[in-house]
Amino acid sequence: MSQVSEELSHESWTTVCALDEIVADTGVCCLVGQKQVAVFRVGDGDRVLAIGNYDPFSKANVLSRGIVGDRAGRVKVASPIFKQSFCLETGECLDDPGVSVPTFDVRVRDGIVEVQESNTRTLRSGNTTLLSEVSSA
């Protein structure tokens, strides 16, 4: 078993809120370990995605307050400060592909949104695959 597979088998999840407390196509902020995480509900269903709340352009924790939308079929959030858009699936900045924010594994269980504590996924500049990293929270 690879190191990443072993790490993924030791899951620890943080309860965020009930799914119905997140309005469709908006986000909420939560604290996972020592990290602010922006959790977004995409549409009216139970699809949720999570990225780091820190906007590297404005240097503020504001992405959860951004505008959720679509760019060329990719679900994204536009920062409320300088309006750069980040793909909610990969964390990649759609306006500056050399910049990304971390993404977090998120799930809905019995109507409750949970974010995985021990694992973040970061898109690396120039790399088209997601790499797993263990956070040191």
- pLDDT tens digit sequence for 76-114: 999 999 999 999 999 999 999 999 999 999 999 999 999
CA dist 19 and 109 (Å) reads 9
- pLDDT confidence tier of residue 119, bands split at 50, 70 and 90: low
**Cα-to-chain-centroid distance, residue 70:** 16
DSSP assignment of 72-117 equals TTEEEEE-TTT--EEETTT-BBSS-TT-B--EEEEEEETTEEEEEE
The answer to whether the pTM exceeds 0.85 is no
Q: How far lies 8's CA from each of 3, 11, 18, 31, 39, in Å?
A: 9, 6, 24, 20, 20
Digit-coded pLDDT (tens) for 26-80: 999 999 999 999 999 999 999 999 999 999 999 999 999 999 999 999 999 999 9
Residue ranges of domains in the chain, CATH in brackets: 3-134 (2.102.10.10)
**Tens digit of each residue's pLDDT (9 = 90 or more) over 5-24:** 334 445 799 999 999 999 99
